[in-house]
Structure formats: structure tokens, C-alpha cells
Amino acid sequence: MIKDAKAKPAKAKPAKKCMSMDEVRAGVDAVDRELVALIVRRQAYMEAAARIKTDRAAVYDAVRIEDVVSKVKAEASRQGLSIDIAEPVWREMIKRSIAYEFEAWDRLRNAG
């Protein structure tokens, strides 16, 4: 059976109450939708940073990267997220965010 792509997704059960893989997958899909929305918000801050920074070299900031990763690891530990998941996921997201910010920085200054 093909599901309507525009249909509102069913409310996901808490993970501990899932009794089937369909329920697990529905929960993962719901979390993924939330994550996308959060990453969209994060991307908007990369766009703002590109707009605010006057020097292209300021886009990459190694000290800030390590500060972010350190904070994420502490929060992951506090909330029970495996550091083995959190750290590489954030490092990749930061890497991609920096690439996006460089593109945004260039686009904003070459748009004239």
C-alpha cells in the first residue's frame, strides 16, 4: 500500500512502547522531521554569520569548533546520548555548515 505523501503522519509512540518495527520506523521518521526543522533553524544562523562577518577568513574558527563540540559532548552526556554518535555527527554538521557559510559569504558579496 502506498501512503499519501501529503497525509499527516500519525503520532509516534514513545520508543519504550513500540512493539513493532513499523512503530519504531514511524518514531524515527517523526524524529527525523523534527531534526530537519532544527537544522533549518541552525542553517539560518550560518546565513546570519555569513552576513555579519566582514572577513571571509573569519568563517573558519578552529577555537569555536572545539568549543561547540565540547558543549555538545557535555550536553550529550547529560541527556544520555552516546558520545560516539554525538561527536562525529556534530563534527560533520559543523564541516558542512562551514562550507555552507563560505558559499553564503561569497554569494552575499558577489550578488551586486
**What is the residue extent of each domain of the chain?**
57-112
Half-sphere CA count of 54, side-chain side, radius 13 A: 0
Residues in Cβ contact with 50 at an 8 Å cutoff, skipping those fewer than 6 apart: 59, 101, 102, 104, 105, 107, 108
Q: Give the number of other Cβ atoms within 10 Å of residue 28's Cβ.
A: 13
Amino acid at 47: E
pLDDT, residue 99, reads: 99
Q: Which pTM does this prediction carry? A: 0.86
pLDDT, residue 4, reads: 56
Q: What is the pLDDT along the chain (112 residues), one digit of tens a residue?
A: 455 556 666 689 999 999 999 999 999 999 999 999 999 999 999 999 999 999 999 999 999 999 999 999 999 999 999 999 999 999 999 999 999 999 999 999 997 6
